[in-house]
Amino acid sequence: MALIEIKNLTKTFGPTTAVDHVSLDIIKGETLGLVGESGSGKSTLARLILKLLHSDAGTIIYGSELERLRRDCQLVFQDPQTSLNPRIRVGEAIAEPILINQLKPKAEAKARVLELLGLVKLPLNYVRRYPHELSGGERQRVGIARALASSPKFLVLDEPVSALDVSIQVDILQLLKELKERLKLTYLFIAHDLQVIGYMSDRIAVMKEGQIVELGPPAEILATPHHPYTQKLLASTLKI
Ligand SMILES: Nc1ncnc2c1ncn2[C@@H]1O[C@H](COP(=O)(O)OP(=O)(O)OP(=O)(O)O)[C@@H](O)[C@H]1O
Ligand SMILES: [Mg+2]
């Protein structure tokens, strides 16, 4: 069952066609991996889906459970360092979306913040810490807690571990998998690392110059890539 149906979606920036007639279904409960080299249009597609950008053409149909789009669809950014305000304590940062969207009265927001810290497995006394008092992995946990504050159904994870040390990448990926099961989420997971995408995804979409050039289960895409571009991507990953 499609949670989100995308048809012929197109977005241009001046002479650049960032997203070029993309048609794609995101199925409820899946992790759809979106891979492609820098500039291929991944983040633009994500922002179109989240309605942070207007498309030039095409349609996006949202499932009935996504009718409160701003609450039900959330974004986790690549770099928690820049997405967190250095002067705002962790507790306030997580409380912010709760208070702005009036999800809970102020008196109840604190309990919700602690619940969210627990969900992302951070010690509860971190509420009083500032972002610079956290490791990169811990900051990304705060970014995830913020995204979960509105109890979304759908998360876009735009390179959520690319800025992190390899040793903590796996911890965050595992946490994301656990959260997806526990909270029955659907993910659009963007990365340029095919290993990370393969580990996370139920299906993988390969993007090149604004178009989806290949789509299928990881076993198929990673073992027998059909498109020359996917073969090239795979070869460049394995070289490392
Ligand atoms: N706001 C904008 N104004 C002008 N051009 C833009 C804008 N946003 C994106 N682009 C262009 O659209 C194309 C796709 O960019 P996008 O950020 O979607 O790529 P990406 O696949 O997410 O790349 P990366 O892996 O580096 O994050 C690029 O050519 C980029 O320069
Ligand atoms: Mg991007």
CATH number at 69 reads 3.40.50.300
Predicted TM-score of the model (pTM): 0.94
Q: Can you list the residues of the chain whose pLDDT is less than 70? A: 80, 237-240
**Domain count of the fold of the chain:** 1
Which residues does 179 contact at the CB level (< 8 Å), separation at least 6? 119, 120, 144, 148, 185
The CA-atom distances, in angstroms, between 63 and each of 117, 191, 226 are 29, 25, 31
User: Which two tokens mark 25?
Assistant: 């279904």
Ligand 1 centre distance from Cα of residue 45 (Å): 9
Percentage of the residues of the chain whose pLDDT score is greater than 90:
78
| Residue of the CA atom closest to atom 6 of ligand 1 | 13
The CA-atom distances, in angstroms, between 171 and each of 69, 78, 126, 139, 165 are 29, 15, 18, 13, 11
**Among 42, 76, 162, 188, which is best to mutate for testing ligand 1, by the most ligand atoms less than 8 A from CB?**
42
Domain encompassing residue 31: 2-238
Ligand 2 centre distance from Cα of residue 127 (Å): 30
As a dihedral over the C-alpha atoms of residue 228, residue 230, residue 231, residue 233, rounded to 10 degrees, the angle is: 120
Residue 238 pLDDT:
53
Closest-CA residue to 19 (of 59, 55, 60): 55
Q: Are 192 and 36 in contact (CB under 8 A)?
A: yes
Does the CB atom of residue 74 touch ligand 1 within 6 A?
Answer: no
Does the CB atom of residue 33 touch ligand 1 within 6 A?
Answer: no
Distance CA 174, CA 34 (A): 18
| Residue of the CA atom closest to atom 14 of ligand 1 | 41
Q: Are 147 and 116 in contact (CB under 8 A)?
A: no
Residue 230 pLDDT:
84
